[in-house]
Chain A
Amino acid sequence: MAAGAEYADVRAVHEDRESLTVQDQRVEGVARATSRGVGVRVLVEGSWGFAGTARLDPAHIAEAARSAVAIARAGASLRRRSIELAPLDVEVDRYVTPHSTDPFDVPVEDKLELLLNATAAANSVDGLAFAKASCDAWRITKWFVSSDGARLNQTLLQVAGGVECVAVDDTQVQARSFPNSFRGYCGTGGWEDIVALDLAGRTPRYAEEAVALLRAPPLPEHTGTVILDGNQVALQVHESVGHPLELDRILGYEAAYAGTSWVAVNDVDRLRYGSELVNLTLDSTTPKALGTYGYDDEGVPAGRHTLVEQGMLRGFLSSRETAPGLGGDVRSNGTMRAESWGAIPLIRMSNIHLEPGEGSLEQLLDDTGNGIFMTTNRSWSIDDKRLNFQFGCEVAYEIRGGRLGRMYRNPTYTGRTPVFWGSCDAIAGAEAWEVYGTPNCGKGQPSQLARVAHGAAPTRFRDVRMGVR
């Protein structure tokens, strides 16, 4: 502040990560990483400056602070408008992820045994090329101090674990993942959540499906009814709801890289995002969800906020810088997060949920009669305004007479965001609703990864183009 900052905050971060990977009975990776550093963010002459350093002696930290001020000054002359921050009730608090067993307290041998048992179970299936099992753990301790008076300490524990079963022939590579693709289950919590997956007990079915996919026909190109499993609805929410409702994208801050949004600031309460069944919520407090925390990286407390209510747009993901653009005394809803001490916070999804409807998956299938059921994301792509998307799943099944029938390989579907959500005419209920972690959400320059989550249940959409060629 002595160097002329109007506002400053400092994040000191200590992150431990452990990553174990096995393929069949070979241990491919046993790795731990520790990243410690300090990031200093300052507002000078209405312009941001940020500097981060891994060198933790007082001289280097002070130098980082001076550097942040110099950087802000260098950019100030290239701003048209000064940045103003939304008000915040500053807090002094401590938050720790609820858990039973800190994953870093579990011996590596025990974890490897769990993974090797899982791949051994998968390898019992004839025709499987190989099985890969992994588990990850993160322990992130942050101290946040701001010139507003905030003093926050958080320890977040995140865990992941899963198995990928791969079958290969001369022309194809097919995979089935349990319990989900992209590192499996991902959530906040302790090692007990990985043990509860019962990887060894449940993996063989997925290995059998991977092998069967080699012989399955490709999903024919057609337009019809699709039920997306909750794990695919989660990615659909991520790409076609979460990203386009980030207020920094809407305001053009990410235009050069990730893109902008088809949604405008003045669309609140006027834009129909989906059918009346569609209720979407930003909730950074959901127990065990991967994006759950106590406070964001601006010191805003986690909370639950409505984004879409009965299909109508009600809100955005915001920050202290962007919230004033919504008018009135709108405050940040606490979504600013940085990948590490060395990165400036950006608006990131925490947990964005499609709220449940009614009934079980079986009831939804029965009600549907004929259509296609797809599960487990394999690929994703969406345009820079988040309108035109195409997703691929690991497997699809025909729905015939209300029951799952034959298997299809390489299923894809495509659509346009408001049309697609407008075609949603059934969502399964709370008994089928789960939270799915997404550990690899990318945004920003330099690119920052965030770990986020989405709650979803199997959901039905009409008139969807599938089997895209």
Chain B
Amino acid sequence: MIAEPQLGQTACEQLADAAFDAVNEAAVDVEVVIHHNVEGLTRFANSQVHQNVARDDLAAAVRVVLDGGRSGVVNVHTDGPGVVARAARDAMALARMAPPDPEFPGLAPAAPTVAVPVDEATIAASPENRAGAVRDVLSEIPDEYEAAGAYRTVASELAVFTSAGQRIYAPGSVATLTMVVMGPTSSGYAEGGERAMADIDAAGTAASAVAKAAAGHDPVDVPAGSWPVVLEPPAVATMVQFLAYLGFGGRDYLEGRSFTAGHLGERCVDPRLTVVDDALSPLGTGLPFDYEGTPKQRVELIRDGAAVGIVHDRHSAAKAGTSSTGHGLPAPNTHGPLSMNPALLAGDGGAFDDVIGGCERGLLVTRFHYTNVVHPKETSITGMTRDGTFLVEDGRISAAVKNLRFTQSILAALEHVEAISSQTAYATEIFEEGGHFPSLRLPTFTFSGATSFG
């Protein structure tokens, strides 16, 4: 479609200026967030395309703040300056009805940001490009298997303008491929994500999923209980992203709801683990500033096993007496700031196979499924293994096993780590933006139940 996959900074500014002009009064603070997403997605299942969609969505969010911190927010989906101007007037009307908020921290001031790489070919991706990638995937699928997944290309623009002087714009491009290959008794998973679609090896990703499914045939039962485990990058992503979500948001920290409250600086996991939130990592797909217009900072959450950093938006930062780290969500944000790009730094454990090779007897987990929080402050989560769970004996996969349920404190699982791979792979779990994660070998992990399929 989408004749104009990128509006450009000038067009975004014109939309924002319509809002500023509409409520151009003294003692009025205004923030305009323009978010333009042109997304194409081709889904396949049963080894054929079954959904093929495109969406061009241009959204403007206008926040108006009056004296005493009274604020209102109006979101509209439009490319019309008149609609944005009306949104600003409506936001002003809402603000007039709202009570004062003495905790209002002010809007983001002018601050420079860095550019992230953008791939023009991904921005201009056509249905034929996506079909070609899916064709590459399907060509790798043997007759005895079925493939299901999605190939997605996104061209995005995020711009934030504030009456405090910030005028910031970033284009972005992302391509992702997620897929499952299913055989008669097993399934295998693989995924990829890059800023440029040319960097996704569709056929190679498919071959990985096929190999995983082939290795997983005829799974056997193993008892639930405590096992040594090797967690592959998608499973590690689950652990790290949930840990970041539960432990390192500024608001939860200040309200005493996270395990870091009162314990910053203390060791919380194995000293060999360092977790960093870095949206600008060359291996990631993040944007360079948050929805308040604050440039994203690289924040060490865990350094050498100790909890050392908290991410903030402007509100939590003001309450904590510090500065925003650029982790604000769209207003009105009632959840507080969020670490959306946490990554566990690679270790010295060699390739993924080397990490498996050091396992005398344990379970290899490809990924987890439908993970959810059981006890937030204990960082206890539960979920299932999926698409490739294996018994490892004498450093080699000896059998596929049926899926298991785990109920496990993340902090307890990471208290002792036997190996961290130096090799990493793209993975994501609870956030759309993924990152690169190593594999881990842990001495003990609690599986609380089993199921009847692999």
- Chain A residues within 8 Å of B, Cβ to Cβ: 19, 21, 23, 26-37, 47-55, 60, 63-64, 67-68, 70-81, 107-109, 112, 129-130, 132, 134, 166, 168, 170-173, 251-257, 259, 342-344, 379-385, 387-388, 390, 392, 410, 412, 414, 416, 445-446, 465, 468-469
What are 11 sample pairs from A and B whose C-beta atoms fall under 8 A apart?
A50-B53, A51-B1, A52-B56, A52-B57, A54-B59, A60-B1, A79-B49, A108-B94, A383-B384, A384-B384, A390-B405
Q: A30-B95, A388-B405 are contacts. A67–B49 as well, Cβ < 8 Å?
A: no
For B258, the closest partner residue in chain A by CB is A173
Residue B138 lies at the interface, judged by CB distance under 8 Å to chain A: yes
Q: A26-B101, A55-B58 are contacts. A31–B178 as well, Cβ < 8 Å?
A: no
For B138, the closest partner residue in chain A by CB is A78
Interchain CB contact under 8 A, A26 and B103: yes
Given A80-B48, A108-B98, A388-B450, 15 additional A-B pairs, CB 8 A: A19-B332, A30-B98, A30-B332, A32-B74, A50-B51, A63-B3, A78-B48, A256-B149, A259-B369, A344-B53, A382-B370, A383-B451, A410-B375, A468-B407, A469-B448
> Looking at B53, B179, B372, which has the most chain A CB atoms within 10 Å of its CB?
B53
Interchain CB contact under 8 A, A74 and B52: yes
Q: Which of B46, B77, B375, B384 meets A37, CB within 8 Å?
A: B77
> Looking at A23, A60, A73, A78, which has the most chain B CB atoms within 10 Å of its CB?
A78
Main secondary structure of the interface of A (DSSP, over half): mixed
Residue B135 lies at the interface, judged by CB distance under 8 Å to chain A: yes
Interchain CB contact under 8 A, B127 and A74: yes
Given the complex of chains A and B, what is the CA–CA distance between A75 and B138 in angstroms? 13
Residue B43 lies at the interface, judged by CB distance under 8 Å to chain A: yes
Interchain CB contact under 8 A, B127 and A71: yes
Given the complex of chains A and B, what is the CA–CA distance between A31 and B407 in angstroms? 37
Given the complex of chains A and B, what is the CA–CA distance between A176 and B453 in angstroms? 36
What's the least CB distance linking B3 to chain A, in Å?
6
What's the least CB distance linking A90 to chain B, in Å?
24
Interchain CB contact under 8 A, B48 and A468: no
What's the least CB distance linking B213 to chain A, in Å?
12
Interchain CB contact under 8 A, B51 and A173: no
- Chain B residues within 8 Å of A, Cβ to Cβ: 1-3, 39-59, 71-79, 87, 90, 94-95, 97-99, 101, 103, 126-128, 130-131, 134-135, 138, 146, 148-150, 152, 178-180, 182, 255-257, 262, 331-334, 369-378, 382-384, 386, 403, 405, 407, 446, 448-453
Lowest 10 A-B CB distances belong to which pairs? Answer: A29-B332, A33-B75, A74-B127, A75-B49, A255-B148, A67-B1, A256-B148, A342-B55, A54-B77, A388-B451
Interchain CB contact under 8 A, B452 and A387: yes
Interchain CB contact under 8 A, A70 and B403: no
Given the complex of chains A and B, what is the CA–CA distance between A271 and B58 in angstroms? 47
Interchain CB contact under 8 A, B182 and A107: no
Interchain CB contact under 8 A, A388 and B384: yes
Interchain CB contact under 8 A, A31 and B75: yes
Q: A53-B1, A72-B52 are contacts. A252–B46 as well, Cβ < 8 Å?
A: yes
Given the complex of chains A and B, what is the CA–CA distance between A33 and B148 in angstroms? 35
Chain A residues lying within 8 Å of B374, measured Cβ to Cβ, are 379, 392, 410, 412
Chain A residues lying within 8 Å of B47, measured Cβ to Cβ, are 80
Given the complex of chains A and B, what is the CA–CA distance between A69 and B420 in angstroms? 48
Given the complex of chains A and B, what is the CA–CA distance between A254 and B182 in angstroms? 12
Q: Which of A79, A129, A387, A465 meets B255, CB within 8 Å?
A: A129
Q: A67-B1, A445-B152 are contacts. A54–B57 as well, Cβ < 8 Å?
A: yes
Given the complex of chains A and B, what is the CA–CA distance between A26 and B146 in angstroms? 53
Interchain CB contact under 8 A, A468 and B448: yes
What's the least CB distance linking B6 to chain A, in Å?
14
Interchain CB contact under 8 A, A34 and B382: no
What's the least CB distance linking A329 to chain B, in Å?
23
Chain A residues lying within 8 Å of B40, measured Cβ to Cβ, are 71
Given the complex of chains A and B, what is the CA–CA distance between A222 and B257 in angstroms? 29
Chain B residues lying within 8 Å of A107, measured Cβ to Cβ, are 97
Given the complex of chains A and B, what is the CA–CA distance between A350 and B332 in angstroms? 29
Q: Which of A32, A35, A70, A171 meets B127, CB within 8 Å?
A: A70
Interchain CB contact under 8 A, B383 and A381: yes
Q: A252-B45, A381-B383 are contacts. A31–B72 as well, Cβ < 8 Å?
A: yes
Interchain CB contact under 8 A, B128 and A55: no
Given the complex of chains A and B, what is the CA–CA distance between A446 and B151 in angstroms? 10
Chain B residues lying within 8 Å of A446, measured Cβ to Cβ, are 39, 41, 152
Chain A residues lying within 8 Å of B43, measured Cβ to Cβ, are 253, 256, 445
For B129, the closest partner residue in chain A by CB is A74
Chain B residues lying within 8 Å of A28, measured Cβ to Cβ, are 332, 334
Interchain CB contact under 8 A, B371 and A381: yes
Chain A residues lying within 8 Å of B148, measured Cβ to Cβ, are 252-256
What's the least CB distance linking B101 to chain A, in Å?
6
